[in-house]
Structure 1
Amino acid sequence: MNNIEEVIEKQRLYFEEGITKDVDFRLEKLKILKNAIIKNEKEIMEALKKDLNKAPFESYETEIGLVLEELRYIIKHLPSWIRCKRVKTPITHFLSRSYTCSEPYGVTLIMSPWNYPFQLAMVPLIGSIAAGNCTVIKPSEYSFHTSEIIEKIISKNFNEEYISVVRGGREANKNLLEEKFDYIFFTGSVQVGRIVMEAASKHLTPVTLELGGKSPCIVDETANIDLAAKRIVWGKFLNAGQTCVAPDYLMVKSTVKEKLIIKMKEYINEFYGAVPCNNPEYPKIINDKHFNRLINLLKGENIVFGGEYNDKTNQISPTILDNVTWDSAIMQEEIFGPILPVLEFENLKEVISIINKRPKPLALYCFSNNKESQKNIINSISFGGGCINDTVVHLATSYMPFGGVGDSSMGGYHGKASFDTFSHKKGILNKSNLIDIPLRYPPFKNNLNLLKKIMR
């Protein structure tokens, strides 16, 4: 797609025809997308294998399956969401009816990342289609092969004036952000998120930013250590740690730290084998730039497990660090790789204080069987979302919104939240002509006391 401006203009004209607002049209397009994904399932898996070395199971579990489930849920519920909803009318608007209607923004831009390149392009697209918009998708060129299959699916099944894919690197991103869209949905790093928000502000374009940050995982002395270790290892090293909601670091009660580390080592061996970099199902780091960044973060740290890497395949084995301090380089940025720093604590109050002094995390995980401790953590720390006694799985549902807060994100999506994100909810008051109360009109005379009685 060479002429970005031309594509946007085509979409704007198409949107103005009103075709995309029809509920049957939206449902038809969602079903077409679903069938196209099922038809191209094998090619999608092959692309994910080439880009990230994802095993077919992991590709379906974290990408294709989540997209199909989101489609199923939204197709089922969209007809009820699209209806205007009656709301109460105050007595001051006597003889009126009030209601809200969800309307599409118009032409939206979805900028997706490379770590879950299929899922994180398709799930926002589903929301945009459901809300009745036209859409431009800009997938990451780092995940070249997946971007290629996304472009193929979209171009074969949808007209470019309705949905189009723009390929390219930074120059394409820059050109897109210079254009005026009606809504921008961005998933990626905090640094690029700032650039997107700055560009959007020039056109006063509303945005959703799905970013990241350092998501803590807290383990206290009451936790089921064996199960905690199993679920932490799974959530952290899924996709070789290249997950925005992966546990970024552990804060473990000192009395159970050694036991937890021993159990995590056991599960890493069980899941990935003695030499994970030789495991054909173990994912790789996306490119040399990110691989080298992660290797540099290991320098000078106390590696108690793992640390091996293969610079030919860009694989880094699951790695555990101990005796990490808050001044360590690895604690200054989101890791986004298969490296897990372990810090210990003595009391929960200390943990809450430390986390609250830092930017609000996208996710938080708490392993504890103490109900009071669970409640204290959830109520005392602001974060996007998370789990008690598990990791990552809170995002794999269409029944809850997913998103962050503060530095970690802005806005949310999944299920109904996706429809709402890509819709403007407008309020309408329909006033009767049968009666016109003269109280509100000048001259006001001595009507203030009467007005106070009505409005209190």
Structure 2
Amino acid sequence: MTGFTQLEEIPKIHAALRKTFRSGITKPIAWRRHQLHQLARLAQENADEIADCIYKDLGRPKQEAIMGDVAAVIERSLIVASNLEEWAKPEEPTVQPWQQSWNTRVEKQPKGVALIISPWNYPFILSVQPLYGAISAGCCAVIKPSEFSPHVSAFLAKAIPKYLEASAYKVILGAVPEITRVLELKWDHIFYTGNGRVARIISAAAAKHLTPTTLELGGKSPVLVDSSADIDISAKRILWGKVNNSGQICVAPDYILAEKAIVPQLIDSIKKHSQDFFPDGALVSKSYGKIVTDAHFNRLKGLLQRSKGKVVLGGQWDEKTRGIEPTVVIVEEEDALLEDELFGPILPILPVESIDEALQYLQDRDYPLILYGFSNNKVNKQKILDATMSGAVAFGDTFQTVAVNEVPFGGVGESGHGSQNLKYSYDSFSYLRPVFDIPFQDEQFFGARYPPYSEKSLEFFSALLKAPIPKI
């Protein structure tokens, strides 16, 4: 990508945003609402260009770009705008009777100047979704998009100042030198979407300034399938989740733990649906994307070459287009395909004797972003919920966790911390500020707190030492 932001300009951008924030222009609700409407307008009026940029960067079909990026941004920006006034209202807690004259309230205040670091795999929505959170909270923000999605990044740099207040929202383009310079500066919140390796670097940089972070990561999101499931529908839904963006999404099903008895039927169903999805072959299909860079392509190819598993579907690739077929591999426990998050269209299946064995396997591993379960057995579903930890759990389908606006989206442990989506995005960029207004007339109630202390004042404050505490 040409046109990287000059290193000497980065501190100037940071200082200008801080000046804008201190001016107070981002705080009025009407101003924020207008910016959110403009964000929706940006997506709506440039839908074709955005889809074209995504295709150039990722080979992603237009329907996937509209469905997964553009339409969601329009919808969510408008929902946030319509609910903003309600979300921003101060909370009035119920306080002790003797404190009721204090006008106690909890205000929602913007954290300040935010940094949004977005990834290449969904470069538009994963840049703009945190941005609507920052806007709605009243923050200024910088977006640092990925150098691996150059067309979308260039579009954002061009479009953001046209639609949004240019003094409040900026785009910084670049690679390692630029993000290194960015991270040397003090931000009021950092929102990062990506992988755990880079998240550790960002966390270390943030810690120097005690900057709070939201880390949207990923990990190996497993799929559990038992013999009670509708195997054909399960196979179709799992495969669909895997081929979206060629598996390059944090919520893609990473691998399957399936009861041995149903593995042959599961494989047959996946093969059938793969043929239905791509009748002329995935590598020539206009409904199937490519791998983003040569480095990512070679990593996935290397994993397939290292794997000792049995390929039962796919396994072919095209060096020229960086295409890799949807590939299903039967593996054993220590296979290379089970080491790290795959982030590609490779789907290992690890046969297990039972759901109990699958749960034992999961308990020894990092907490995933999403845990998928395919079962009609209520007991097994409850076992899955009771025995695991994950950012979310979805029974019966893949991918759809990102389609529900009203719940928080985020990880736990290695899959991240903090959350986003509508009000949760607003909350991420806000902080709670208690406010008290204690009347001078209440001085009559405060006499016992002042020195010189006495037996009487000590007795007053010791009352709770005699409070009954239930034994059960």
Give the TM-score band, short-chain normalised.
Answer: over 0.9
2:463 to 437, 450, 453: 453
**1:101, 1:39 → 2: CA distance?**
35
Asked whether the equivalents of residues 224 and 256 of structure 2 are also in contact (C-alpha less than 8 Å), the reply is: yes
**1:51, 1:301 → 2: CA distance?**
31
Of 89-98 and 70-79, deviating more is: 89-98
**1:68, 1:245 → 2: CA distance?**
21
C-alpha deviation, 1:274, in angstroms: 4.2
**2:356, 2:435 → 1: CA distance?**
48
**Per the alignment, in what secondary structure is the counterpart of residue 201 of structure 2?**
helix
**1:40, 1:267 → 2: CA distance?**
34
Quick check: 1:84 aligned with 2:94?
no
Of 346-355 and 233-242, deviating more is: 346-355
C-alpha deviation, 1:327, in angstroms: 1.4
RMSD between aligned residues: 1.4
* Letter matched to residue 388 of structure 2: I
Asked whether the equivalents of residues 398 and 416 of structure 1 are also in contact (C-alpha less than 8 Å), the reply is: no
Asked whether the equivalents of residues 307 and 316 of structure 1 are also in contact (C-alpha less than 8 Å), the reply is: yes
| Superposition map of 1:123-138 within 5 A | 123-138=129-144
* Letter matched to residue 154 of structure 2: E
Quick check: 1:319 aligned with 2:362?
no
Find the counterpart in structure 2 of residue 27 from structure 1: 33
Quick check: 1:242 aligned with 2:242?
no
Q: State the Cα deviation string for residues 319-347 of structure 1 (Å, max 9, x = none).
A: 0000x123111111100000000011122
**2:163, 2:13 → 1: CA distance?**
17
* Aligned-pair identity (%): 38
**2:21, 2:435 → 1: CA distance?**
22
**Cα distance change, pair 100–206 in 1 and its aligned pair in 2 (3 A):** same
**Per the alignment, in what secondary structure is the counterpart of residue 21 of structure 1?**
coil
**Per the alignment, in what secondary structure is the counterpart of residue 430 of structure 1?**
coil
**1:56, 1:386 → 2: CA distance?**
29
Find the counterpart in structure 2 of residue 415 from structure 1: 422
**2:382, 2:280 → 1: CA distance?**
39
Quick check: 1:303 aligned with 2:311?
yes
Q: State the Cα deviation string for residues 39-65 of structure 1 (Å, max 9, x = none).
A: 111100110111111111111111111
**1:12, 1:43 → 2: CA distance?**
32
C-alpha deviation, 1:159, in angstroms: 4.1
Find the counterpart in structure 1 of residue 470 from structure 2: none
Q: State the Cα deviation string for residues 10-50 of structure 1 (Å, max 9, x = none).
A: 11011101110000000001111111211111100110111
The TM-score with structure 2 as length reference comes to 0.94
How many residues align? The count is 455
* Letter matched to residue 328 of structure 2: I
Q: State the Cα deviation string for residues 331-385 of structure 1 (Å, max 9, x = none).
A: 1110000000001112222222211111111110011111121122122211001
**Per the alignment, in what secondary structure is the counterpart of residue 352 of structure 1?**
helix
* Letter matched to residue 305 of structure 1: L
1:212 to 213, 218, 227: 218
Quick check: 1:262 aligned with 2:268?
yes
Quick check: 1:397 aligned with 2:407?
no
Which residues of structure 1 form unaligned runs of 5+?
none
**2:161, 2:351 → 1: CA distance?**
52
Quick check: 1:203 aligned with 2:212?
no
C-alpha deviation, 1:95, in angstroms: 3.3
2:121 to 111, 115, 120: 115
Asked whether the equivalents of residues 51 and 145 of structure 1 are also in contact (C-alpha less than 8 Å), the reply is: yes
Find the counterpart in structure 2 of residue 183 from structure 1: 189
**1:440, 1:70 → 2: CA distance?**
51
Find the counterpart in structure 1 of residue 344 from structure 2: 337
* Letter matched to residue 270 of structure 1: D
* Letter matched to residue 411 of structure 2: G
**Per the alignment, in what secondary structure is the counterpart of residue 167 of structure 1?**
coil
C-alpha deviation, 1:396, in angstroms: 1.4
C-alpha deviation, 1:410, in angstroms: 1.1
Find the counterpart in structure 1 of residue 448 from structure 2: 439
**1:325, 1:96 → 2: CA distance?**
65
Of 410-419 and 369-378, deviating more is: 369-378
Find the counterpart in structure 1 of residue 154 from structure 2: 148
Asked whether the equivalents of residues 371 and 394 of structure 2 are also in contact (C-alpha less than 8 Å), the reply is: yes
Which residues of structure 2 form unaligned runs of 5+?
468-472
**Per the alignment, in what secondary structure is the counterpart of residue 252 of structure 1?**
strand
C-alpha deviation, 1:409, in angstroms: 0.6
Q: State the Cα deviation string for residues 125-179 of structure 1 (Å, max 9, x = none).
A: 0000000011100000101111111111102223432101000111111111111
